[in-house]
Structure 1
Amino acid sequence: MTALLVFVHLAILIGFTIRILLRDDLSPQARLAWFILIAVLPYVGSAIYFLSGEIDLGHHANKRHREVLDQIHGKADPLFGTPAETDRLIDPLYSSAFRYAGSINGFHAVDGNRAELMADAAETNARLIADIDAAQSHVHVLYYIWLDDTTGTDIARALIRAAQRGVICRAMADGLGSRAFIRSSHWQRMKEAGVLTVTALPLDNVIWTVLTSRIDLRNHRKITVIDSKITYCGSRNSADPEFRIKARYAPWVDIMLRFEGAVVAQNELLFISDWMQATGEKFEDFTVVRHAVEGGFPAQVMGDGPTERRGATPQLFSALIACARETLTLSTPYFVPDATVFEALCSAAHRGVKVTLIFPKNNDSWVVAAASRSYYRKLLSAGCSIHEFKRGLLHAKTLTLDGCVTLIGSSNLDLRSFDLNYENNILLQDADITRAVRHRQDDYIASSDPVTLDEVTAWPRYRRIWNNTVATIGPVL
């Protein structure tokens, strides 16, 4: 019996070690982190690797994703823009980053856009509901988290009203993040009213999902499109700021831009790709029209996910950071960067760019909080400024640089957004909108505590050991 147990033990260790060594998609840091986890906790580590070690939705999902993209590109290629348009529209200082964004899923910069920064959650809700109530053709919504609260029920009722007057309404929600709402009476009433509903990445058979894929590969997107003319992009889910499922960290502080123009069609195509993936419908069932705004600015959609090219999001962030000449301000609730992004931030600060980072003081993930703070000392030593927001959980994901370029959307600076989640963002070049977002970032800073190098250096040893220990397994978080 002892010999058998030793054999099983060695077989598990050798088997998982060989599997990790065979993977060309792992960074050396991630490979080392898995080795450490399996060596220290062989059975637990092996189980964790089996459940969450590999990023794959399965052969069928990958094949279907390629088919969907081929269909959409074949029928709507002019809506995607071209690299030549990017070169014409974007300042040469930043065109390399915009061109890189276009390489991810084919969306390039298109002219003729305008945007408004929503003042707060109340204005976002009021404007969004008014836009749905004014819809004449169709409404498309996709949310990672859809709660049965004021915001969630307001949107559900607006969709019901729209469907009852003949507007085509499609509503999509993530199977994990919105699991309670999908089972609620509101979801059922939406169906009865004629709203077309779909669950993204459903968990109907959890055991099968665990055996064939990963339960934590999620659709983290937040997309609202009305009549191909209006879209909302930012960090807000369909939920109140009180965010009652994690009320102790409230309010959730989000940011949203309301767009009109050619970029709306790109965001709609991203929604449609998810809908087609989930339902099997063909692109012919949809009508997407570009509505450009005269005199508007250039912008493009960027979508990422586990069926896209690996490393696309961190490489985009690094490309944007490399373009910065004077200022770069970034806010994110979850900061566990890979080496590419981390070194790019330090490099920017070393070459004289004013790099400002804004994170929550109290994070809903203690693991992320510890891992994030392990990077503080080197960032501060490089010359970056760090501010910890103290009036709720800062959930806004924003990047502004040099007063003219803005990236806004659902992507965090952590490995979940980099590798596991489907995300959506809009990258734009416009001084007025960037100024508005930069002022909002200043508001966040005014409600934050600055973090100094002296303060971090004075942290107790046990705290530094804890932060660095957690960060060691950061590549597998």
Structure 2
Amino acid sequence: MWHHLLALALVLAVHVAVLCRVLLNDDMSSDARAAWFFVLIGFPIIGIVVYLFLGEPWMARSFRRRAATVWEQPIANISAMSGGMSSGLIPDRYRPVFETCASLNGCGAAIGNVASLAADSDAAIRDMVHDFDLARETIHVSFYIWLTDNNGRLVVEALRRAAARGVTCRVVVDAFGSRDLIRSAYWAAMKQSGIKLCVSLVSSLGVSLASISRPDLRNHRKIVVVDNSVTYCGSQNCADPEFRIKPRFAPWIDIMLRFEGPVARQNQLVFANDWAVEYGEDLSSLASEPFPGELEGDCAAAAFGTGPMSPKGSMSDVFVSLLQSAQQEVVISTPYFVPDLQLLASLMASARRKVTTILILPARNDSHVVSAISKAHYARLLASGVKIYEYHGGLLHAKTVVVDGQLTLVGSANMDFRSLYLNFENNILFYSDKNSGDVRARQDIYISSSTQVDEQDVKKRPRLRRIYDNLLTIVGPVF
């Protein structure tokens, strides 16, 4: 009997210790703290195990040491990557958004960029392959998901051709998202071609908690940089829109932009930091090279990365700054909508101050839990004046925010807790009437294939479904 009491006392002690840890964690938001309390009180044993593995974005001590060393290195030529605000090009009301980005990338906006929007996912891959075939010095690629489908193979072969010409090619893929590629003959073929390969965030049991990282951390970034002067940014993974690993939700509707100009140096810096931490090769000299010549582009842009070691809530801060800068209209598309409290409040505040606030979400989501949590927020959003559209032409995977047809954010970050607080993400914020107009026109195409959500229909949802959805919002920060 005594050993049962001892086991019970031990479990109780661990339970109290974990609850205290939740209360003592100053980096945890209040809604995340409430969610974990609910899980730990309601499901003590399971809750303890889940929290120990998934409760905090903890990284291996060795990873943190390497990252701190890399991130503390000064940017040698910051003038090559900035200047937009000092030139007076960016209107005053948008400056706080770029200042928020500057706190993350260290250099703010870069001017003189030329940007273009790819017609669709296949066109984006064709454009990349064309740039790879013209490359003379370096090609850097980072994808969360890289499949061995048609588009995936096209990129593999283009990289191998470039490597054969003497171009230095570096590739980063997420250990989980690109596991099929890593196990395939294409990965081996790239290695044999002399391409430098890095598998990001490989799970390791290690010998102690100090030597391992949280097992569900993801490098969700999508970065392409060619010859240190051309870069791509958007929501697209290296895959066909048919997305054969989840064909039931196809086609995947993505967005990708090509930028030529100094902002490529900033995206290079995001890639270089990842590469130095996980591969061990210092590329900081590339990121700080002065841009050759002057471009006639009128696009001011800032590239930045966020992750579990960024200032807490930094990605949410960017979204909130964008919403606060809007005067007439803000249009958002995102596949995964699980906002934190400040983002949800900012969306509603935007609509209440008579800014046309439009949210476009997929009608069918590959995540049932995320879909349920999204719908649980509909009533409050609609009551505040937010217009919600559900897209029916596949899974709308494009992550876009356009403010007043002038200021745009594109990249890998969703409006969910994983992107806001956990995943390694990358985005580009840009100010340009023409390029923002192109993205805004693309958003209109999404809306034309969508159904507007009716407030009365939301109110008529069955009580049991409302209870279920609202219960999930309580634990939303856990997902």
TM range (shorter): over 0.9
Q: Which residue number in structure 2 is paired with residue 33 of structure 1?
A: 35
How far apart in 1 are the matches of 2:70 and 2:7?
A: 48
Q: Which residue number in structure 2 is paired with residue 77 of structure 1?
A: 78
| Deviation, structure 1 residue 212 | 2.9
Task: Indicate conservation of the 8 Å contact 1:228/1:289, yes or no.
Answer: no
How far apart in 2 are the matches of 1:410 and 1:18?
A: 34
Counterpart code for 1:412: N
Counterpart code for 2:403: L
Task: Indicate conservation of the 8 Å contact 1:216/1:420, yes or no.
Answer: no
Instruction: Say which of 461, 464, 468 aligns to 1:459.
Output: 461
Q: Which runs of 5+ in 2 are unaligned?
A: none
Structure 1, 371-380 or 3-12: larger mean CA deviation: 3-12
How far apart in 2 are the matches of 1:193 and 1:205?
A: 31
Q: Which residue number in structure 2 is paired with residue 290 of structure 1?
A: 291
| Deviation, structure 1 residue 286 | 4.1
Q: Which residue number in structure 1 is paired with residue 134 of structure 2?
A: 134
Task: Indicate conservation of the 8 Å contact 2:84/2:111, yes or no.
Answer: no
| Deviation, structure 1 residue 126 | 1.4
How far apart in 2 are the matches of 1:298 and 1:228?
A: 17
| Deviation, structure 1 residue 167 | 0.7
1:207-356 paired onto structure 2 within 5 Å: 212-283=212-283, 286=286, 288-291=289-292, 292-356=294-358
| Deviation, structure 1 residue 373 | 0.8
How far apart in 2 are the matches of 1:41 and 1:82?
A: 53
| Deviation, structure 1 residue 90 | 1.1
Q: Which residue number in structure 1 is paired with residue 107 of structure 2?
A: 107
How far apart in 2 are the matches of 1:54 and 1:364?
A: 25
Task: Indicate conservation of the 8 Å contact 2:109/2:301, yes or no.
Answer: yes
CA change 1:301–1:209 in 2 (3 A) is farther
| Deviation, structure 1 residue 428 | 0.6
Structure 1, 135-144 or 25-34: larger mean CA deviation: 25-34
Counterpart code for 1:251: P
| Deviation, structure 1 residue 128 | 1.1
CA change 1:161–1:361 in 2 (3 A) is same
Render the CA deviation track for 1:243-267: whole Å, top value 9, x for unaligned.
1111111111000111111111111
1:64 aligns with 2:66: yes
Give the percent of matched residue pairs that are identical in Structure 1 and Structure 2: 42
Q: Which runs of 5+ in 1 are unaligned?
A: none
Task: Indicate conservation of the 8 Å contact 1:264/1:290, yes or no.
Answer: no
CA change 1:413–1:221 in 2 (3 A) is same
How far apart in 2 are the matches of 1:135 and 1:227?
A: 6
How far apart in 2 are the matches of 1:84 and 1:241?
A: 37
Secondary structure of 1:257's aligned partner: strand
How far apart in 2 are the matches of 1:41 and 1:326?
A: 46
| Deviation, structure 1 residue 66 | 2.2
Counterpart code for 1:78: S
RMSD of aligned residue pairs (Cα, Å): 1.8
Q: Which residue number in structure 1 is paired with residue 412 of structure 2?
A: 410
How far apart in 2 are the matches of 1:375 and 1:16?
A: 30
Secondary structure of 1:406's aligned partner: strand
| Deviation, structure 1 residue 78 | 2.9
Task: Indicate conservation of the 8 Å contact 1:51/1:210, yes or no.
Answer: no
| Deviation, structure 1 residue 80 | 3.8
| Deviation, structure 1 residue 83 | 8.3
CA change 1:452–1:284 in 2 (3 A) is closer
Render the CA deviation track for 1:431-476: whole Å, top value 9, x for unaligned.
1111110110010011111101101001010111111011110122
How far apart in 2 are the matches of 1:310 and 1:80?
A: 25
How far apart in 2 are the matches of 1:63 and 1:38?
A: 31
1:97-246 paired onto structure 2 within 5 Å: 97-203=97-203, 205=205, 212-246=212-246
How far apart in 1 are the matches of 2:141 and 2:176?
A: 17
Q: TM-score, normalization: structure 1?
A: 0.96
Secondary structure of 2:373's aligned partner: helix
CA change 1:174–1:209 in 2 (3 A) is farther
How far apart in 2 are the matches of 1:276 and 1:311?
A: 24
| Deviation, structure 1 residue 198 | 0.9
Task: Indicate conservation of the 8 Å contact 1:235/1:395, yes or no.
Answer: yes
| Deviation, structure 1 residue 206 | 7.9
Counterpart code for 1:116: S
Secondary structure of 1:244's aligned partner: coil
| Deviation, structure 1 residue 8 | 2.8
Structure 1, 23-32 or 154-163: larger mean CA deviation: 23-32
| Deviation, structure 1 residue 36 | 1.1
Secondary structure of 1:163's aligned partner: helix
Task: Indicate conservation of the 8 Å contact 2:206/2:212, yes or no.
Answer: no
Counterpart code for 2:251: P
How far apart in 2 are the matches of 1:329 and 1:83?
A: 24
Counterpart code for 2:51: Y
Counterpart code for 1:187: W
CA change 1:211–1:459 in 2 (3 A) is farther
Counterpart code for 1:326: Q
| Deviation, structure 1 residue 59 | 2.7
1:443 aligns with 2:439: no
Counterpart code for 1:459: R
